[in-house]
Structure formats: structure tokens, C-alpha cells
Structure 1
Amino acid sequence: MTTNTIYPSLNNKTVLITGGGSGIGAALTTAFVRQGATVAFIDIDTLASEQLIESLRTENSDHRVEFHRCDIRDIASLQTTIADINAALGPITALVNNAANDDRHDWRDVTPEYWDERMAINLRPQFFTIQAVAPAMIDAGGGSIINFGSVSWQKAQGYMPGYTTAKAAVHGLSRTMARDLGEANIRVNTVVPGAVITQRQLDNWIGPDDEAQIQSQQCLKKRLLPEHLAPMALFLAADESAGCTAQEFIVDGGVV
């Protein structure tokens, strides 16, 4: 699936995507690159990220896309990486906070250390990435921040309380930062994916019976793919969404 919509305002815009090397993140990276944006993405998976870079450069050698390896749990390293990207590519005026980890876990087995680690991946970096990006975005006259949530907490999904709690908090983060940054013409919104079928999901949790159950809950009887999320992110990063902030945009095939 590719989008036929071209947003001129994304051409040459500097975009930062966290977790941009595989799964939903790779679809986001690909979509922004094809819009002519200057894209930097952060990921911990070097192999997948380098393969994506090679594929995009083979598709069009004029594409400007960079991979920066970083563990987003290390906030000092994360913010240093963002400073380097700002210095090299110009001010980041679109941020996509996509990186996450939805490993399943039984509430009985959760320790304080594991709980903190879930927050350290799924919530804390979203705030500190915003904190690092916002000053240059303010100086540039505005921008768009897109935080990725999850439909899991809205549908009361079990077996991952650390993840669902973090993702429930993401929309609160979006709304409070939309208020704090609105006077600087910075929009902050949440994209809420449904049960997106990535290779990781298929490898770890979703079999044919699971997928049939997922589609039985959706209004649209189709497999929800990473490529279905990218058009929403493009719209929210583009000038065409200039009046949208502090909102949730759900892409779940019609579940909640």
C-alpha cells in the first residue's frame, strides 16, 4: 500500500522518527522519505535499520535519510543524538514518537524493576524526546509532534499491564504538551494504532486463530498493516492539519 497524497509542506522538512527501522516505524520512515522530507530515525536494531537505508537509497539515491543507533532508555544519549541531528540536518519540525515494546507479561510476575523498564521504553522517552526537540522547533516558528499510543488500553486488553498503562498515559502527555507548546505554534497529537500485524507480532503472538478473532472485532474485515498508519502521520505532520492538536486519531479498523 502506498499513499497517492503528496504534501508539499513535507518536502525538505526535517523529520525525526523514533523506532524507525522496522515494523510500523519502517513504514513511517519510508512514507516520509517518499514525500521528499529529510528524515532521521533512531533505532536499536542496526541490521534492520541499515537494510531499510539501503532499500530507500536504492529506490532513489536523492533521498536524504539517516539512521542513528540509540537506546532510547538512555536519556542522555537520546538527547545528545537529537542535538546532533538538529545540528546536521537543521531544526526538526516534525517528531514522530513511535518507538515502543509490547512484550506480554502476567501481572503476577511484574517486579518494580520490570515495571520501571516498561515505562523507560514506552513512556519516558516520549517526554524527553519532546523536551529535546521543542526548543529548536520553537525557534523555527512551530511544528508537529506525533505521539504513538495504543488501542489496547481502550479495549481493556490484558496480559501486558505495564505496556497498556504507559500507552494510556501517552494521550495525557500529548494533551498537556499541546497546551504548553500551543502558543509556539507546535501541535501535539496522538496516533492510536489497533492490532497492526507486523512480522514481530506474527513471530511472537499472533497465529491464524488470533488474527481471525482480531478481524471479528473490527468493522473492516482486513489485515491492519503498518502502511495503514503512515498516511495519518503524514497528515498530522503536514500543514494541512494546522488546526489539529491535543487529539487522538485512531487507526484500528473500527474496534473502539
Structure 2
Amino acid sequence: MTSPANAADRQSAGTYACYPSLAGRTVLITGGATGIGASFVEHFAAQGARVAFFDIDAAAGEALADQLGDSGHAPLFLTCDLADIDALRKAIADVRSALGPISVLVNNAANDKRHLIAEVTPESFDAGIAVNLRHQFFAAQAVVDDMKQLGGGSIINLGSISWMLKNGNMPVYVTSKAAIAGLTRGLARDLGPFGIRVNTLLPGWVMTEKQRRLWLDEAGKRALKAGQCLDGELLPEDLARMALFLAADDSRMITAQDFIVDGGWA
């Protein structure tokens, strides 16, 4: 993750886009304590949005909130297990009470834990769907009335190119991520009359600390080199900058679409 000061400095210096329509809007990000989610939190805060984020990792979430608070962009962090829908609904209500109606929802939380077909049980299948897909629907359901009240809003569902590449050794994860395309399109049709836009943001292999630590080996580096059209590492901030555009009024007539940020791999 880039430092908050650097993100704010680059935006104010004009290196990357600023979106005046995001200033003062309430933005909710799930899974925001680390990795791609933390970059979302940082970048939306630097735009002047009122940012709230959820994560099950309380220590990392509190550390990020403190770090950004020191730079003048203090987000609201709430610990939440998104697989617990009652807890998710309560946390969203708490954000609404603290920051006002939610204008932007970034459904980011997921867990790409590797697993083999033979290892999957009905219980582990349900758990995988809960952490990678189910909460996206219920979070969207919980903010719809806010967005109707505001006259519109933006929901950004995080997918993955993993199912497009036919990645193995994580069948439940890949199933969940493929299903998000259908979720986005169904929500976009039903919510469009209210000015609510719904899009999918599909990352490639993003070089977060977790990915480097667990899975990036020499074979992985060769695969990146061969797969991507652009020669370079895909970073969390590359996803964050696309999310800013999809949340801002600049994308006001864009909905039901997939936006792939992967260096040209899929």
C-alpha cells in the first residue's frame, strides 16, 4: 500500500485524477484493512469522502484508521465478520448513523484460500460462498434505501479474472467470483431506475503483501511475464484508481459492466 500522504500529494499535484463529486460522500468498503481494500480506503479518503470500512482483522483495521487519521483523512473502522449477515446489517446501520446515508459501496472482501476438489465439504462450500459472494448481495440490499434517498449511488462488486483464466486448486472461490458477474447484472437492471449503478471490477494478480508472501514464486513470476501484455507489477492502487472513477459522477451512465484491471492478461 502506498502511504496516505503520497496518495494525497499525488492527487493534489495533479499526477492522478481528482473527483470533486466524491468529496463529502459516504463510502463503505468491505474487507478494507489490508491489501487492495486498504488501498481503496486510502484513495477514497484522499478524495475527501467520508469513508467507513469493515474487516474481521481488528488489529490491521485499527492500525490503518490510525495511520490515515494522522494524515488528516480519518476513516471509520468497524470490526465485522461479513459471513454473519445480522452483524453486517448492524454495522451498516452504525455507519449510516455516524456518517449519513451511504452513496458508494465497494464490495471488496474475499478469501482466495487454495483448496482441492476432493477436500470440499458441504460446510466448506457454504463457508466459501458466504465469504466470497453472499455478503456482496446483502450489503447491496442494505444500502439500496440510502441510495434511493440520495437519488442515486454506485455499487462496485469485486470479481476476479481467476475464473476467466480457468485457475485450478480453488474451485469454490472461482465459482463465487464467476457468480458476481450475474449478481452485478441482476442488480443493475433492478436498481437502474433509481439512478443506482452497479459494476464489477475484476483484478488480475495484484501484488499485495499476502500474494508475495504466500504464492509469488519463480514460476509465478514467469506466468506474470508471459500472461500480462504490460510488463510490470499490478499494484493495489491500480485497482483503487478505477474504483474512484466508477464511484464518481464521471461514470454516471456506466452500469452492468465488467472492468478488468490486469495488465492485459485475461
For the aligned pair, the TM-score class normalised by the smaller chain equals over 0.9
Distance 1:217 1:75 in 2: 38
Distance 1:101 1:57 in 2: 27
Distance 1:136 1:213 in 2: 43
Q: Which residue of 2 aligns with 1:30?
A: 42
**AA aligned opposite 1:32:** F
Q: 1:53 aligns to what SS in structure 2?
A: helix
Distance 1:117 1:130 in 2: 19
| Offset at residue 203 of structure 1 (A) | 1.7
| Offset at residue 212 of structure 1 (A) | 2.5
Identity %: 53
Say whether 1:119 aligns with 2:158: no
**AA aligned opposite 2:33:** G
Deviates more, 1:84-93 or 1:122-131: 84-93
* Aligned partners of 1:16 and 1:92 also within 8 Å: yes
Aligned Cα root-mean-square deviation (Å): 1.0
Distance 1:78 1:53 in 2: 19
**AA aligned opposite 2:133:** L
**AA aligned opposite 1:206:** L
Q: Which residue of 1 aligns with 2:116?
A: 106
Say whether 1:21 aligns with 2:36: no
Q: Which residue of 2 aligns with 1:96?
A: 106
Distance 1:215 1:166 in 2: 27
Deviates more, 1:9-18 or 1:131-140: 131-140
1:172-227, CA deviations, whole angstroms, 9 ceiling, x for partnerless residues? 00000000000000000000000011111122111233123222210011111111
**AA aligned opposite 1:48:** A
Structure 1 gap segments, 5+ residues each: none
Q: Which residue of 2 aligns with 1:79?
A: 89
Distance 2:156 2:231 in 1: 27
Q: Which residue of 2 aligns with 1:150?
A: 160
Q: Which residue of 2 aligns with 1:194?
A: 204
Give the total of aligned pairs.
Answer: 254
1:138-161, CA deviations, whole angstroms, 9 ceiling, x for partnerless residues? 111110000000000011111100
| Offset at residue 54 of structure 1 (A) | 1.5
**AA aligned opposite 1:102:** D
| Offset at residue 241 of structure 1 (A) | 0.2
1:98-146, CA deviations, whole angstroms, 9 ceiling, x for partnerless residues? 0000000111111111111100100000000001011111111110000
Q: Which residue of 1 aligns with 2:55?
A: 43
| Offset at residue 80 of structure 1 (A) | 0.8
Structure 2 gap segments, 5+ residues each: none
Give the structure-1-normalised TM-score.
0.97
Distance 1:107 1:209 in 2: 23
* Aligned partners of 1:18 and 1:41 also within 8 Å: yes
* Aligned partners of 1:10 and 1:238 also within 8 Å: yes
Give the structure-2-normalised TM-score.
0.93
Q: Which runs of 4+ in 1 moved over 4 A?
A: none
